[in-house]
Amino acid sequence: MKRGHLAILTRTDEAPGLPDRAEAVRVAEAILFAAPAPMSADEIAARLPQGADVAAVLADLRATYAGRGVNLVRVAGRWAFRTASDLAYVLARDAVEPRRLSRAAMETLAIIAYHQPVTRAEIEEIRGVATSKGTLDTLLETGWIRLRGRRRAPGRPVTYGTTPTFLDHFGLDAVGDLPGLDELKGAGLLEGRVPQELSVPIPSDDLALREDEAPLDDDLFAPLEIEAGEGGA
């Protein structure tokens, strides 16, 4: 709880060794409050006074805001202030109802999230029905899923995965935090039919492609059409 002029003093004649933790917390608080999007610890650290321990500062800040009307949360591996979820009832008035996804789209999204990287054929195998192009388009439009690459397999089908926006929207720090993931994994329900030896039954939204994935290359803008032919294969 220090005031401005004091803070300036601390910045200039900085005591050797311990930088002023309280000041660093204030700075992180200001940055995160102002930020239009979640920020990584590195981005925050770059703006803290020299020598500040960003992890400790964030832990402090998180503790300070726990139980308050606004909380510091980790989403998609980044940090952001969000209103406390139990206050949704007060804020719901402001809410622009997010587009309600159809059951089919929600299921498709879940399959992409839990089984990523996953191809359209694999999604269809799990759901037992064809996936309409509209469903994938809708999901791509939300910004929650993305085309990752191409499976190194006959037909080179496009692989789908989720985005950081997906994690942000659903308040997840990482895909490893998906609800019920452990149960699904434990029950052996994440193993695909496909390349047994390559399949790691853990979803990955890692930007790096897997061994069985190739880059999308230049047909990026027409993958759905190309993939459509593959359905029967």
Count of residues of this chain found to bind other proteins when the rule CB under 8 A is applied: 69
When binding is defined by CB under 8 A, the residue of 93, 208, 211, 222 that contacts other proteins is 93
3-class secondary structure, 75: strand
Per CB under 8 A, contacts with other proteins among 128-157 are: 128-130, 132, 141-142, 144
Helix (H) and strand (E) counts in the chain: 11, 6
Q: Segment 33-62, which members bind other proteins (CB under 8 A)?
A: 33-37
Closest CB 97 distance from its own copies, rounded Å: 16
User: DSSP state, 174?
Assistant: S
Burial per residue of 73-103, b for 16 or more beta-carbon CB atoms within 10 angstroms, e otherwise: bbbbebbbbeebeeeeeeeeeeeeeeeebee
Among 1, 3, 15, 103, binds other proteins (CB under 8 A): 103
Residues 181-220 that bind other proteins (CB under 8 A): 181, 183-184, 187-195, 198
Q: Which of 119, 108, 114 is nearest to 195 (CA)?
A: 119
> What does 169 interact with, of other proteins, its own copies, none (CB < 5 to 8 A by kind)?
other proteins
**Torsion angle of alpha carbons 95, 101, 107, 112, nearest 10°?**
-80
Out of other proteins, its own copies, none, which partner does residue 27 contact, by CB within 5 to 8 A per kind?
its own copies
Pick the closer one to other proteins by CB: 41 or 190.
190
Figure out which of the listed residues 1, 15, 95, 207 binds other proteins, where binding follows CB under 8 A.
Answer: 95
